[in-house]
Structure 1
Amino acid sequence: MKVAILLANGFETLEGLTVVDILRRAEVQCDTFSLEGNEVTTSHKIKVQSDKNIMGEEIKDYDCIVLPGGMPGATNLRDSERVIEIVKEFNNKKKWICAICAGPIALGKAGITEGKNITCYPGFEDQLGNCNYKDELVVVDGNIITGKGPAAAIPFAFEILSKISEEKVNKVKKAMLFK
């Protein structure tokens, strides 16, 4: 499985890079995609070099997309026509769509949350569309995985990895001393 992390300026460091870290520890192909240019600045002013750019067609070859939260990263993802197009296409193909913190607001704008169980950072529920909001750390419904916020970054990443290999989840958890 190939995983694409969508990084917009202002993304939450923990939510974007924890997923990259855990998946790469598990030897899963995980690439970061920027909305423009190659350098992305996190919400905490950390500069990150992305692997690829979202404008290429290559992203369609991936099996999973991840949308981190953080501000204004989540609104930058939500307001990108290209991101919304990709979210809709992945949903139509029943590929994995993962979003954490305020990241799920892009799923709401894409119109894919109808009747789904979804979580997000408190205060963004009104931007999720007509979904069933769940006050839980990580929620899975069909092909959509959502996480509540920065504290959910590790469990969220392990939930994504569990869709690839439960054996790798156990191996990486053990190596990271995560219980």
Structure 2
Amino acid sequence: MPDIKEAKILILATDGFEEVELTVPLEKLRAQGATVEVAAPEKTRAPGQITAWDGMKEPEDWGRSVPVDRALAEVRADDYDAIVLPGGVLNPDHLRVEPQVIALVQDFAAKGKVVASICHGPWILVEAGLAKGRKMTSFSSIKTDVQNAGATWLDQAVVTDKGIVTSRSPEDLDAFVAKIVEEVREGSHGARRAA
């Protein structure tokens, strides 16, 4: 069982992420001693950073930017204990059509590593074939997508099924981060094949 202080965690996102769904796990996991890196595809609004979409502003607009530590092409599942996939609508919608993203998420799952996704992030898990036969949650507007992919959707703050962690919204961030820490401490969850 690795201690969270020894863990290396990857957050994968692109422009349009829900700000707190990236920044809160980043800050809380680092505060507990984990090494956390942010990776993104090379094509972003600004070199070396990704920008949140802030739907709370009037009018809706781009929000805070976060530095990117690694390009997507540079990261491998072997180098990390967990991957975190923030939501927002734009972020997972763009990531789920990137073959490199899907292959990376599938590799994390196949190696029994923690795969954590919140809000609309489970769209990526659906695309990666990881929903079928699992218990999951998500933002309520994609409930049907998750169910149509073969998952049992639960209206709970956090749902875990063999190391795959899902949460509904920013309101669930405390439970989401706590479950990531717990799952990392448990270690390998065995091979979980993409359907």
**Do these two structures clear the TM 0.5 threshold for a shared fold by scoring above it?**
yes
Q: CA RMSD in A?
A: 1.5
The whole-number CA distance in structure 2 between the counterparts of 1:149 and 1:86 is: 24
The whole-number CA distance in structure 2 between the counterparts of 1:20 and 1:47 is: 13
Match of 1:145 in 2: 165
Match of 1:3 in 2: 9
Contact preservation (8 Å) 2:77, 2:107: no
Pairing of 1:63-74 with structure 2 (within 5 A): 63-74=81-92
The whole-number CA distance in structure 1 between the counterparts of 2:179 and 2:142 is: 22
Contact preservation (8 Å) 1:115, 1:130: yes
Contact preservation (8 Å) 2:39, 2:71: yes
The whole-number CA distance in structure 1 between the counterparts of 2:50 and 2:102 is: 19
Shift of 1:165: 4.9
Q: Aligned pair count?
A: 166
Change (3 A) 1:70 1:127: same
* Pair 1:89 & 2:99 matched: no
Question: Which runs of 5 or more residues in structure 2 are unaligned?
Answer: 1-6, 55-62, 187-195
Q: 2:175 is matched by which residue type in structure 1?
A: P
Question: Which runs of 5 or more residues in structure 1 are unaligned?
Answer: 167-179
Shift of 1:126: 2.6
Match of 1:60 in 2: 78
Match of 2:39 in 1: 33
| 1:86-110 CA-partner distances (Å, limit 9, x unpaired) | 1111111111100000000110011
The whole-number CA distance in structure 1 between the counterparts of 2:84 and 2:91 is: 13
The alignment's TM-score, normalised by the length of structure 2, stands at: 0.80
Question: 1:100 aligned to 97, 111, 118, which one?
Answer: 118
Runs of 4+ in 1 over 4 A off after TM superposition: none
Change (3 A) 1:30 1:57: closer
Shift of 1:24: 0.5
Contact preservation (8 Å) 2:163, 2:183: no
Q: 2:100 is matched by which residue type in structure 1?
A: R
Q: 2:16 is matched by which residue type in structure 1?
A: G
